[in-house]
Amino acid sequence: KLASLEFKTTSIVKAGGVEFGGNQAVLIAGPCAVENEDQLFKTAQAVKAAGASMLRGGAFKPRTSPYAFQGLEKEGLKILKNVSQAVEIPFVTEVTNPMDVELIADYADMLQIGARNMQNFTLLKEVGKAGKPVILKRGLAATIEEWLMAAEYILSEGNYQVVLCERGIRTYETATRNTLDLSAIPLVKQLSHLPIIADPSHGTGKRPLVTPLSRAAIAAGADGLLIEVHPDPENALSDGPQSLTFENFEDLIAQVRPVAEAIGRQL
């Protein structure tokens, strides 16, 4: 299998000048959804100043309810591009539909496949053909085997620039939004050469849990973190309860850095 350690021992995935899988743990941060240019610009400046090397923001949002904010779509992509250029930080954004891959690949430095689309095989194949680096999130109820097979769909189209992202799985526990499967991080490293990052924002759904789980994910060997940050989480159009303020994000970095250094990595 192309994702296996038998095929290859390590992978460095490069996206917009950022390297995943090297000595540096990568920090990706930004709002769940792009809401307007001011919101994204302020967030991009703040997360870059704090130490993030990639911006995130959803323009096409896969929401549980069809009545919830669905994203600014193409307008959101334009805002992402403008802000990314003005602040000089590359960005990743989600693609939900195979027909939008080309459009989004024109704008973004990196594509994201969300948990709900992990087994959208048509989308995986299109992203495999797009030749852009991609973050492949673990499905809400996907086994590690199914997740690696989903990655295989992208790799087998000739795109080796895949970063896996553990974002929590559905369990019986309702006190958290999902259960962040920390064991997936070292386990995937024993099976695959692909870099793996963690998303403690969706993994917990709760702001006070994001920093502790970020420390734990880095200690477990994650190649980076994906963190939701918003200028005003109380009024966010999506995922406010798990979004960090700028101050929270600075504190997260201060707490995670010594953990990274303790295992010989930089942050």
Smallest distance from the beta carbon of 202 to ligand PEP, in angstroms? 4
Query: Which of Mn ion, ligand PEP, none sits in contact with 115, Cβ below 5 to 8 A by type?
Result: ligand PEP
Taking CB under 6 A as the criterion, the residue among 114, 133, 195, 205 binding ligand PEP is: 114
3-state secondary structure of 246: helix
Q: What single-letter DSSP state applies at residue 234?
A: G
Residue among 148, 160, 165, 24 at smallest CA distance from 92: 165
Is 126 or 239 the residue whose CB approaches Mn ion more closely? 239
Is 224 a binding residue for ligand PEP by CB under 6 A? The answer is no
Residues whose CB falls within 8 Å of the CB of residue 55, separated by 6 or more in sequence, listed in order = 28, 29, 30, 40, 43, 44, 47, 48, 80, 83, 84, 87, 89, 90, 91, 92
Q: What is the dihedral of CA 13, 149, 203, 40, to 10 degrees?
A: 50
Is 32 or 124 the residue whose CB approaches Mn ion more closely? 32
One-letter amino acid for residue 260 of the chain: A
Taking CB under 5 A as the criterion, the residue among 46, 164, 239, 260 binding Mn ion is: 239
Smallest distance from the beta carbon of 238 to ligand PEP, in angstroms? 7
Taking CB under 6 A as the criterion, the residue among 132, 167, 215, 230 binding ligand PEP is: 167
Give the residue closest to ligand PEP by C-beta. Answer: 114
Is 55 a binding residue for Mn ion by CB under 5 A? The answer is no
- For the chain, what's the residue count? 267
Determine the Cα–Cα distance for residues 151 and 159; give it in Å rounded to an integer.
10
Is 58 a binding residue for ligand PEP by CB under 6 A? The answer is yes
Q: Residue 26 — left, alpha, or beta (φ > 0 → left; ψ -120 to 50 → alpha)? A: beta
Is 16 a binding residue for ligand PEP by CB under 6 A? The answer is no
Given a contact cutoff of 8 angstroms between Cβ atoms, the answer to whether 44 and 1 are in contact is no
Cα 16 to Cα 53, 134, 138: the distances in Å are: 10, 12, 23
Determine the Cα–Cα distance for residues 83 and 14; give it in Å rounded to an integer.
21
Binding mask 63-102 for ligand PEP (x = CB under 6 A): ----------------------------------------
Q: Choose the stretch contacting ligand PEP; rule: CB under 6 A; options: 83-91, 110-118, 205-213, 249-257.
A: 110-118
Is 165 a binding residue for Mn ion by CB under 5 A? The answer is no
Query: Which of Mn ion, ligand PEP, none sits in contact with 164, Cβ below 5 to 8 A by type?
Result: none
Smallest distance from the beta carbon of 114 to ligand PEP, in angstroms? 3
Contacting positions for ligand PEP (CB under 6 A): 32, 58, 62, 114-116, 137, 167, 202
Contacting positions for Mn ion (CB under 5 A): 32, 239
